[in-house]
């Protein structure tokens, strides 16, 4: 019995996604299945800050060359993409030929799909798809918006909502405990058979969960709350 082929982001991978790489793959699959080469997901913060796709929590596969100009680091308040996001919560297809966007103009194609996304906490995010030849019709846009919402919902639960999650996983507690004994990330990586990157990911997650900014505070907070002794 052969399993019928489905696009990646609609299959079991959505449920199995555990890290940023997995969500990168899901959003990329969503973009690719609708004919777009590039995507970007990031938070919509405020007028002053604009939309920063280079933010550490943003996910995108936009070429680095688009951001080489120091003046074009963010999609700022004057950009029609940003204006659209400020004014509407509905997904839309924008024609860059009529309303040029400085950053996204680098894609070379005129069509950009903007999908506003909303986290349960009230935070606003957006998915931007560019680099496609065709202009999605109404139905295609609806499908993109739906899939984007599903992936984003999971992305928020697994990755973004760490700030509001209390309690540490077993792995995280192990790592905090080793840190409290003075081990570096590299040493912990060897002890636990993980990559240093993964250990740092865990530490970063713990920092966000405990609302602290460095390892010393992390250890102190963990001891205070009885997570480790």
Partner 1 sequence: MRLPVSPESLLHALYETLPDPVMIIDADRKLIASNAAASAVFGYSAEEFLGLGPRDFYASIEDAREVGRALFPLDKATQTLHGQYQFLRKDGSIVTAELTANKILDADGKAVALVAILRDISETVAAREEHRRTESILNTALASISEGFIIFDKQDRLLLCNDAYFEIYAISAPAMRIGATFESIIRYGVAHGQYADCGKTEEEHEAWVAWRMERHRNPSKPYIQRLSTNRSLLVEERIAEDGLNVGVRTDVSILSQAKNEAERLGQIIENVAQEVYLFSLTKDKIVSANKAARDNLQYSLEELRELSAADFIAGSAQDEMNALIAPTGSAESKIQIFDTMHRRKDGSTYPCRVRLEHMEDPDDPVALAFVEDMTERLEIERALKQKEHEFETLARNLPDFIVRAKPDTTLTYVNEHYARYVGRPADEMIGRKFLDFVPEANRAMLIEHLASLSPEQPLRTSEQAMPSLTGETLWCLWSNLMVFEDGKPVELVSVGRDITQVREAQNRIARQSRELELRNNALEQFSAVVSHDLKAPLRQIRLFADMIAEDIKLGKAEDLATFSGYISQRSEAMEAMTSSLLEYSQLAYQRINPEKFQLSKALNEAWTNLSVNVEEAQASLIVEKDIDLYGDFTLLTHLYQNLFANSLKYRRQDSSVEIRVEAQTDREGHKITVEDDGIGIAPEQAERIFGVFQRLHADEKLYSGTGIGLALCRRIAESHHGSIHLDTSYRDGARFVITLPRQGAG
Partner 2 sequence: MSSQQDGTLLKVLLVDDDPAEHVLLKRKLKTAEDASIDLEYVSDIGGAVERVKAGGVDMVFLDNRLVPNNDFRETAPQLRSAGFIGPIGIISSDISGRYFEKFREFGVDFKIGKDEIDGTVINFILKEYTLDQLSETCSEDFL
134/60 Cα distance (integer angstroms): 20
79/100 Cα distance (integer angstroms): 8
Considering the complex, what minimum distance in angstroms separates the CB of residue 196 from partner 2? 4
Instruction: Rule CB under 8 A: say whether 34 interacts with partner 2.
Output: no
Span interacting with partner 1, options 1-9, 41-49, 87-95, 207-215, rule CB under 8 A: 1-9
Considering the complex, what minimum distance in angstroms separates the CB of residue 153 from partner 2? 19
Q: What is the dihedral of CA 148, 100, 44, 111, to 10 degrees?
A: 0
Name the residue among 60, 30, 29, 43 with its Cα closest to residue 146. Answer: 30
Out of 90, 165, 204, 223, name the contact with partner 2 by CB under 8 A.
204
119/81 Cα distance (integer angstroms): 20
Span interacting with partner 2, options 43-51, 80-88, 141-149, 206-214, rule CB under 8 A: 206-214
Instruction: Rule CB under 8 A: say whether 184 interacts with partner 2.
Output: yes
Instruction: Rule CB under 8 A: say whether 213 interacts with partner 2.
Output: yes
Considering the complex, what minimum distance in angstroms separates the CB of residue 3 from partner 1? 7
Instruction: Rule CB under 8 A: say whether 1 interacts with partner 1.
Output: yes
Instruction: Rule CB under 8 A: say whether 56 interacts with partner 1.
Output: no
Residue 45: exposure state from Cβ atoms within 10 A (0-12, 13-18, ≥19): middle
The pair phi, psi for residue 108, each rounded to 5°, is: 85, -10
Instruction: Rule CB under 8 A: say whether 3 interacts with partner 1.
Output: yes
Residue closer to partner 1, measured from CB, 3 or 56? 3
Instruction: Name the token pair of 148.
Output: 């984007």
Instruction: Rule CB under 8 A: say whether 169 interacts with partner 2.
Output: no
């Amino acid at each position: 019995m052969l399993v019928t082929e489905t696009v990646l982001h609609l299959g079991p991978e959505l449920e199995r996604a555990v890290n940023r790489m997995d969500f990168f793959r899901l959003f990329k699959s969503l973009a690719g299945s609708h004919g777009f080469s590039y995507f970007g997901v990031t938070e919509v913060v405020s007028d002053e800050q604009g939309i920063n796709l280079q933010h550490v929590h943003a996910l995108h596969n936009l070429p680095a060359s688009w951001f080489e100009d120091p003046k074009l680091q963010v999609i700022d308040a004057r950009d029609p993409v940003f204006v659209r996001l400020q004014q509407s919560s509905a997904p839309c297809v924008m024609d860059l030929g009529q309303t040029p966007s400085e950053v996204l103009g680098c894609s070379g194609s005129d069509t950009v799909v903007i999908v506003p996304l909303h986290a349960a906490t009230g935070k606003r995010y957006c998915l931007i798809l560019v680099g496609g030849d065709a202009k999605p019709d109404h139905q295609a846009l609806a499908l993109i918006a739906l899939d984007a919402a599903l992936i984003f919902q999971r992305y928020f639960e697994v990755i973004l909502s760490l700030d509001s999650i209390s309690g540490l996983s077993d792995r995280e507690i192990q790592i905090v405990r080793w840190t409290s004994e003075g081990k570096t990330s590299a040493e912990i990586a060897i002890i636990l058979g993980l990559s240093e990157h993964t250990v740092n990911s865990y530490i970063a997650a713990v920092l966000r969960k405990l609302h602290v900014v460095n390892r010393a505070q992390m250890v102190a907070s963990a001891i205070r709350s009885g997570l480790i002794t």
